[in-house]
Amino acid sequence: MSLSFNSSVSGIQATLDKQSVSANNIANINTEGYKKQHVNLSQDQQSQVAVNITENPKTSSFYKNIEGIEKSKVNFCEEIVVQIKAKNLLSANIAANNRTDEAEKIL
């Protein structure tokens, strides 16, 4: 397997992770005390995409209801943007994977 193939496959997996975390955030939008999760993507030593999932540690009285219970910090509009970006990233990684496959057949 080529390096570009492995990179695009790891990119596909990372994108699926990003979509999954965003979907989980949306599913918990009305869950009291839920802390939004974030996905950070980086490059690892093997030139693949590394995924790091973290929770939003911030607390604020703005996010508390009358009883003092913390509300969800998920913004639906922000999550839709995350989903759209992840879809485009997935499409780009699939296209890169297809081009790599085509190039290897030619060679």
pLDDT in tens, 53-73: 998 766 544 566 667 777 777
pLDDT digits (tens, 9 = 90+) for 16-35: 999 999 999 999 988 877 88
15 Cβ contact list (under 8 Å, min separation 6): 86, 89, 90, 93
48 Cβ contact list (under 8 Å, min separation 6): 6, 7, 10
Q: What proportions of the chain, in percent to the nearest 5, are helix, strand and coil?
A: 55, 15, 30
Of 73, 8, 4, 63, the closest CA to residue 34 belongs to 73
CA 20/CA 26 separation, integer angstroms: 10
